[in-house]
A and B are shown apart, each in its own frame.
Chain A
């Protein structure tokens, strides 16, 4: 699985808001992520982190996401 080299969703801390900038993963995974709401320009909020994975909220929906996939989602400040 590819990972994003810059600041990624895996680095986000609980309570922080960021904007998704780029997805760096296999095309099918990127398509699914975008369809779930993890598309470029969407705002994402971290709820909590546990077991290396993270729980975040995008478009008002909460997702549990593994750390490797989270590290393929590039983010920037809102």
Chain B
């Protein structure tokens, strides 16, 4: 786990703090890594590892932990942090804890600090965002704070890289102090009971003094009767605990509030001596923005305008760069046909590899726009407001606003969306949110929607600025959202009955979005997209080319050859199942090909239409799909109704192996991923069938 280049001093450092205090920004500064950051609580939901290098060449392992408000976890992400701080992870303690504290919210953040000090681990305080604190008229006396806490306090501005070298120097020092434990004062009776219980726990369960203290506080502040984890303790401990409860209750002491209140009393005293604050009394910029952004009427309108703008940009503004990429691929394909002689190799490269990869990479500009807008949501602090605005709506389906952030994150990809559910404290709400998150239209569906829209939706503009294509795209995303909400309602009434958990969420101060942060996220996600196109999709395209080109049939036209190929036969086998949806065997090949990843549908279409048209690169895939005719009837194979049905099918269908894998990891078994795959595929079939039948009745054929 630990490596050192020279004399080992500090080998492992844990970075902890309240949510959204800038831990990951500091982690990136200290390790040189580029973990995702954002301006809302719950960006980091799992521990991240990196290496910190000191000036003398020595190194240490650094852990960036999910944010937690206290050492009593309320959600899976908080458990990760508290397990490490309480020595439950690999039964090891970190050599040093760096607690990141938001200087502009010192009073609240010091609560966790007092708990970590009681844990008696070597500690350094990174006093982050001192610039914002000063702007807000908050002046912190570092010397007094250091003296009162008994541990080093290092002011930093992680976002600007200020104070990082100094922090590294302090981290590298040997013999870090652990701080003065239990400076907070309890009523004497509580103190006495606490000490007795600590002694019993230490004797009966061989707990170290800090852990015995932590557990004693938890036990004394728990409700009456056996604690929920009572089977961990000996009968003697439990008997003693019951007597403690009785004595404290008889003395009229509120056991649940006394510990928290005592800590906050200490925090108030420390802040009174170390913090000077000039109250301006004027509303802050965040106050003014919140007045509109969370207004009961304006708030929802602003949210809808933002989402509308995002889809408009994704469709209309990306048109020119998409065309440029498409033309670029066509040009390269043409050069290859000139250089290579006609034959299987040229066919493989042009019709197999090139057609498949080009069909997907063309959509890169849309992916970039999607992540640009999601980056703005995350970086400005608006994400948490969106959760606040949506809490009421989420409450109607049995969830709370906390579920909205994972759902919104799933617009990018269901995997981070499902992982973001770790911030949800109610297990039933978390399960339901995980089950419905893949119904939100992710970036992998975008190429499918765009291909269908570009081929069949007329280029009409409404009200002079809204394109029909953009609106169609928005409707697909809304359909996914409504499907997620409707399904959640059903699940909360059946599988996971129960009232929604309470909603309380920290709303960060608004800030201007960081060009660097958004640019980095756009680059990282688009690079992932291109890498996937160059690896997985390339591989699938080559395999598909083979399956669509063999076995060879003598004297057959390209269309007949495709029909008699392995892929054609597979498409024919599933045709009876998909025929009621208005799909033919070629779409069937696309559905089978994209079982593992949705965007493979587009590359599959690219490959099979190129093979069928013998590599005619002068015509776009959209045009080829539009011109396709049924050889028996002579009617168009693909119609507007077929395109809508394909989009509706992809709104509901799971078609993503990575999501199945992450569901298995997060739920700890195969039951829920299998259920999820089954219900989504069933919904996809039923809804597409319904849309097709209604479309036929309306004359859509």
A33 to B425, CA, bound (A): 13
A28 to B400, CA, bound (A): 17
A61 to B389, CA, bound (A): 18
- Contact partners of B257 in chain A: CB under 8 A: 23, 30, 34, 39-40
**Any A CB within 8 A of the CB of B108:** yes
A21-78 at interface with B (beta carbon < 8 Å): 23, 25, 27-37, 39-42, 47-53, 55, 58-66, 68-69
Interface-central residue, A23, A40, A51, by most chain B CB under 10 Å = A51
Q: A1-B502, A37-B108, A63-B504 are in contact. Are A55 and B388 (CB under 8 A)?
A: yes
What 0/1 readout, one digit per residue, does chain B (287-319) give for beta carbons within 8 Å of chain A? 100110011100100000000000000000000
- Contact partners of B502 in chain A: CB under 8 A: 1, 25, 29, 66, 68-69
> Do B264 and A42 touch across chains, with their CB atoms under 8 A apart?
yes
B367-422 at interface with A (beta carbon < 8 Å): 384-385, 387-389, 391-392, 395, 400-401
> Do B105 and A61 touch across chains, with their CB atoms under 8 A apart?
yes
**Any A CB within 8 A of the CB of B652:** no
**Any A CB within 8 A of the CB of B506:** yes
A36 to B107, CA, bound (A): 11
A69 to B295, CA, bound (A): 20
A9 to B296, CA, bound (A): 18
Interface size class of B (residues with CB under 8 A): 35 or more
What 0/1 readout, one digit per residue, does chain B (508-534) give for beta carbons within 8 Å of chain A? 110000000000000000000000000
What 0/1 readout, one digit per residue, does chain B (251-290) give for beta carbons within 8 Å of chain A? 0000011001100100000000000000000000011001
Task: Tell me the smallest distance from the CB of B554 to a CB of chain A, in Å.
Answer: 70
- Contact partners of A50 in chain B: CB under 8 A: 294-296, 299, 388-389
What 0/1 readout, one digit per residue, does chain B (70-86) give for beta carbons within 8 Å of chain A? 10101000000000000
> Do A36 and B72 touch across chains, with their CB atoms under 8 A apart?
no
> Do A52 and B392 touch across chains, with their CB atoms under 8 A apart?
yes
A40 to B262, CA, bound (A): 11
Number of A-B residue pairs at CB separation under 8 A: 122
Task: Tell me the smallest distance from the CB of A72 to a CB of chain B, in Å.
Answer: 9
Task: Tell me the smallest distance from the CB of B404 to a CB of chain A, in Å.
Answer: 11
A72 to B, closest residue via Cβ: B502
**Any A CB within 8 A of the CB of B221:** yes
> Do B392 and A51 touch across chains, with their CB atoms under 8 A apart?
yes
B286 to A, closest residue via Cβ: A62
> Do B108 and A33 touch across chains, with their CB atoms under 8 A apart?
no
- Contact partners of A55 in chain B: CB under 8 A: 290, 294, 388, 507
B392 to A, closest residue via Cβ: A51
**Any A CB within 8 A of the CB of B3:** no
B207-225 at interface with A (beta carbon < 8 Å): 221-223
- Contact partners of B107 in chain A: CB under 8 A: 37, 59-60
> Do A64 and B388 touch across chains, with their CB atoms under 8 A apart?
yes
> Do A53 and B74 touch across chains, with their CB atoms under 8 A apart?
no
- Contact partners of B221 in chain A: CB under 8 A: 31
B508 to A, closest residue via Cβ: A62
**Any A CB within 8 A of the CB of B638:** no
Task: Tell me the smallest distance from the CB of B111 to a CB of chain A, in Å.
Answer: 7
A35 to B296, CA, bound (A): 29
> Do A66 and B504 touch across chains, with their CB atoms under 8 A apart?
yes
> Do B223 and A51 touch across chains, with their CB atoms under 8 A apart?
no
- Contact partners of A42 in chain B: CB under 8 A: 264
Q: A27-B256, A53-B392, A65-B504 are in contact. Are A60 and B295 (CB under 8 A)?
A: no
> Do A31 and B260 touch across chains, with their CB atoms under 8 A apart?
yes
> Do B223 and A39 touch across chains, with their CB atoms under 8 A apart?
no
Q: List 10 A-B contacts (CB under 8 A).
A: A31-B221, A42-B264, A48-B294, A50-B299, A53-B388, A55-B290, A60-B106, A62-B290, A62-B509, A66-B400
Which A residues contact B (CB, under 8 angstroms)? 1, 23, 25, 27-37, 39-42, 47-53, 55, 58-66, 68-69
Inter-chain pairs besides A36-B506, A50-B296, A64-B507, 9 sampled, C-beta below 8 Å: A1-B499, A32-B425, A37-B264, A48-B294, A51-B391, A62-B506, A63-B504, A64-B387, A64-B388
The 6 closest A-B pairs by CB, nearest first: A64-B388, A34-B260, A66-B503, A59-B108, A69-B502, A35-B70
